[in-house]
Structure 1
Amino acid sequence: MLILFLKAAVLIPVTLLPILNPFGNAPVFASLHGNIAPQAQKRLARQVAINCFLMLVGAMFIGSHVLNFFGISLPIVRIGGGILVMATGWRLLNDNSHDAIRTQVASKQVEVWSDEDFKVRSFYPISFPLTVGPGSIAAAITLGANTPTRVLDWVMSIGSAALGAAMTALVIYLCYNSANKLMNLLGRLGTMVLLRLSAFILLCIGIEILWHGILGLMNEAGIVIG
């Protein structure tokens, strides 16, 4: 049972991290948070990780019930999420504003944020939709869609999901907390290449999510391919 618990916990970060792509999003995170002190950057990364943990756990445990309430099927969520992820990837792939943002940030004095600023800016747009977007929400709903009925299995499912989401949030924190170091290490050219590569991967992930949604709808309609 312990092996099954650990396998279920590991499955969550293995499934979600390629979609969340915190390493690829780290340069974008560094551009978005502005010119704040290193300690504030660490606090912001921690708050973003907490936000992402709560959103992923919420999607896994109540996401499917919300969809059932509104009569929305999971393939529809995948199609909608895939389109949004594709649009985000395409926009980032053709976005030339990051150099302008970095130049503007470098020319400013160190900003001081209030507690309210941390709450607001940590959620939008960094936590959502940059980190936890429609694709990862759809994947999280899929992971939590089949909740077992037996009490012991249900408790184990909750524990493994919480542990998996916590591991995922830890990776997000580590990547975002090291964002500035990563940008300094890569330099201007390396950062631009990483941003473009991340955008292309995001575009491909969106296409894959869309395709699985289409296959799901075809399966519901009784259409068999091949």
Structure 2
Amino acid sequence: MTEDIYTFAILVFTSFFTLINPLSSMPVFMSMTTNLSKKRRRQTAKKATLVAFFTLLLFAFSGKILFNFFGISVNSFRIVGGVIFFAMGWDMLQARLAHIKHTDDEKKIDAYVDDISITPLAIPMICGPGAITNAIVLMEDSHTLLQQVVLIGIIAFVLLLTFLIYVGGSKIIDFLGETGNKVMMRLMGLIVMVIAVEFFFSGLKPIVIDILNS
């Protein structure tokens, strides 16, 4: 039982950390908050991670309701999630950052600066479709209260790490350098693609078996 929890915890941490990938999105955060004070940048990072946390919790606990309402099976969602993860992993493997709507005109608007922590930082940069899909699927796979507590705790821990990485972004960028950031992104992209294959075939296998049996 203890080993199962450790295995589950490692899966949750690895999947969420690689999908949220704060190291690759941190340069985007720094560029969007470059004109803000250190205190304001810290507040923005805090608000963004909190919004992302509660958004992930909302989808994690409402996933079953969404499945029933739209008539979606968990296995179908795993297949779609696998495709999303694979596409994200491929982009990361090519060292390409996610496309975020951000123009020079928007940077000059005060309202945009105030709301930047919600959109696009929290959604979709931190809490993107991959992380949302992961939260729903892993909550469906959490069959005990302990697994659910571990899932929520690790989500909070990953977002805490995201906050710390964003706050210390300038030092991390200088330490890793451009080459270091690209290497880290490619490594995480490879891990995401492996997780994607696991998700895809874990959803496809039961569907194929049902088709053959019918």
Q: Normalized against structure 2, the TM-score is what?
A: 0.70
Checking the alignment, whether the CA contact within 8 Å between 1:24 and 1:198 is kept in structure 2 is no
Aligned to 1:211: 201
Percent of counterpart pairs with the same letter? 25
Where does structure 2 lack aligned partners over 5 or more consecutive residues?
Answer: 99-103
Task: Name the CA distance, whole Å, in 1 between partners of 2:182 and 2:47.
Answer: 26
CA deviation string 1:68-112 (max 9, x = no partner)? 1001112222222222232233334446689xxxxxxxxx9xx77
Q: Does 1:84 align with 2:84?
A: yes
Aligned to 1:176: 166
Q: CA RMSD in A?
A: 3.9
1:24 is displaced (CA, Å) by 4.4
1:220 is displaced (CA, Å) by 4.7
| Change over 3 Å in CA distance of 1:78–1:131 after alignment to 2 | farther
Aligned to 1:192: 182
Task: Name the CA distance, whole Å, in 2 between partners of 1:20 and 1:130.
Answer: 8
Aligned to 1:105: none
CA deviation string 1:171-216 (max 9, x = no partner)? 2212222222210111232223333333343344333332333234
Task: Name the CA distance, whole Å, in 1 between partners of 2:150 and 2:111.
Answer: 32
Q: Which moved more, 1:133-142 or 1:41-50?
A: 133-142
Aligned to 1:56: 56
CA deviation string 1:50-73 (max 9, x = no partner)? 122112211221112112100111
Give the 3-state SS of the residue equivalent to 1:188 in structure 2. helix
Aligned to 1:145: 140
1:139 is displaced (CA, Å) by 2.6
| Change over 3 Å in CA distance of 1:39–1:140 after alignment to 2 | same
Aligned to 1:117: 113
Give the 3-state SS of the residue equivalent to 2:36 in structure 1. coil
CA deviation string 1:124-169 (max 9, x = no partner)? 4433333333333233223333788xxxx87x88766554443332
| Change over 3 Å in CA distance of 1:25–1:96 after alignment to 2 | closer
Aligned to 2:101: none
Task: Name the CA distance, whole Å, in 1 between partners of 2:190 and 2:141.
Answer: 32
How many corresponding residue pairs? Answer: 204
* Structure-to-structure mapping, 1:22-171, within 5 angstroms: 22-31=22-31, 33-94=33-94, 114=110, 117-119=113-115, 121-145=116-140, 162-171=152-161
Checking the alignment, whether the CA contact within 8 Å between 1:53 and 1:168 is kept in structure 2 is no
| Change over 3 Å in CA distance of 1:97–1:221 after alignment to 2 | closer
Task: Name the CA distance, whole Å, in 2 between partners of 1:84 and 1:48.
Answer: 23
Where does structure 1 lack aligned partners over 5 or more consecutive residues?
Answer: 99-107
Q: Normalized against structure 1, the TM-score is what?
A: 0.67
Output the amino acid matched with 2:133. Answer: A
CA deviation string 1:21-65 (max 9, x = no partner)? 334443444345554333232122112211221122112211121
Task: Name the CA distance, whole Å, in 2 between partners of 1:93 and 1:21.
Answer: 12
| Change over 3 Å in CA distance of 1:171–1:220 after alignment to 2 | farther
